[in-house]
Amino acid sequence: MTKTPTTSRLRRFVGGLAALSIAPPEPVERPIETRPTLQLLPRRDSPDQGELPEPEATSQTLAQATELVGREDWARAQRLLEDATRRDPDRELASYLDEVRALRRTRRRLVRRPRDAALHVELGRLYFGLELGSQAAEELRRALLLEPTLAEAHFYLALEHLFRGEEEDSRRCLARASELRPDVPSYETLHELLWQSAEG
């Protein structure tokens, strides 16, 4: 059975950190340039649009997109989400679309700059947000092979271990992240946020 995201685990976690006035480590650099895209959305009250999509349609689209993302069929997932957001500018669909687009851009940039550790961290963070933990861990480890002092890579790897229930590995990664950045939250704080985000 495919899991339908309501809010990605990364956003739930970051939201929880923000509520406690804790900022997750900032990336070494912001590797993704956001380019404004012109996307004309139909007006919801336009007479030729017919009835508004049912909430079930959004859930079905998210389930289909999640399945495509799980198969790493990025182009089809993006097309599906773009079509859906043109019909219904739902915030959840738009957010998921933004994540898929960002992931595709980062993957393309890594082809040109495969030794850019910050790009590997960004790709790992995006995989994590899309609940692709194995791919996230792999990219974060690649980043650390290239640049072992990236606090953000250690931090997100700690989160992935935490989600997997691997307490010892999570604590180890978090300890290394806090050596590099003293403002990194404790394991106990993250563990509590995990339970809160799972309930919410």
**Chain segment 44-90, per-residue pLDDT in tens:** 343 444 444 455 778 899 899 999 999 999 999 999 999 999 988 88
Shared-domain flag, residues 194 and 163: yes
pTM above 0.75? no
Shared-domain flag, residues 103 and 126: no
- Does residue 167 belong to any structural domain of this protein? yes
Shared-domain flag, residues 73 and 142: no
Domain of 95, in residue numbers: 55-112
- Does residue 105 belong to any structural domain of this protein? yes
Shared-domain flag, residues 158 and 196: yes
Cα distance between residue 120 and residue 142, in whole Å:
7
pLDDT value at residue 1: 38
DSSP state at residue 3: P
pLDDT value at residue 37: 38
Element holding 98 (H helix, E strand): helix 91-112
CB 182 within 8 A of CB 153: no
Query: Where is the domain boundary, 64, 84, 112?
Result: 112
pLDDT value at residue 26: 52
Query: Where is the domain boundary, 64, 86, 112?
Result: 112
pLDDT value at residue 163: 87
pLDDT value at residue 143: 97
pLDDT value at residue 19: 52
- Does residue 15 belong to any structural domain of this protein? no
Cα distance between residue 163 and residue 150, in whole Å:
21
pLDDT value at residue 29: 46
Please identify every stretch of the chain with a pLDDT value under 50, giving residue numbers as ranges: 1-6, 20-22, 27-53
CB 100 within 8 A of CB 78: yes
CB 140 within 8 A of CB 157: yes
- Does residue 47 belong to any structural domain of this protein? no
- Does residue 60 belong to any structural domain of this protein? yes
Cα distance between residue 42 and residue 78, in whole Å:
19
Cα distance between residue 194 and residue 9, in whole Å:
9
Q: Cβ–Cβ contacts within 10 Å for residue 34, how many?
A: 10
Shared-domain flag, residues 69 and 138: no
Shared-domain flag, residues 128 and 200: yes
Indicate the number of domains in the chain: 2
Shared-domain flag, residues 107 and 138: no
Shared-domain flag, residues 129 and 199: yes
- Does residue 50 belong to any structural domain of this protein? no
The answer to whether the Cα torsion of 152, 153, 156, 157 is positive or negative is: negative
Cα distance between residue 111 and residue 97, in whole Å:
22
- Does residue 136 belong to any structural domain of this protein? yes
CB 177 within 8 A of CB 145: no
pLDDT value at residue 111: 96
The domain that holds 185 is classified in CATH as 1.25.40.10
- Does residue 39 belong to any structural domain of this protein? no
Shared-domain flag, residues 192 and 142: yes
Shared-domain flag, residues 105 and 137: no
- The total number of residues written for the chain in this structure: 200
* Closest of 175, 155, 165 to residue 195, by C-alpha: 165
Shared-domain flag, residues 130 and 192: yes
Shared-domain flag, residues 98 and 139: no
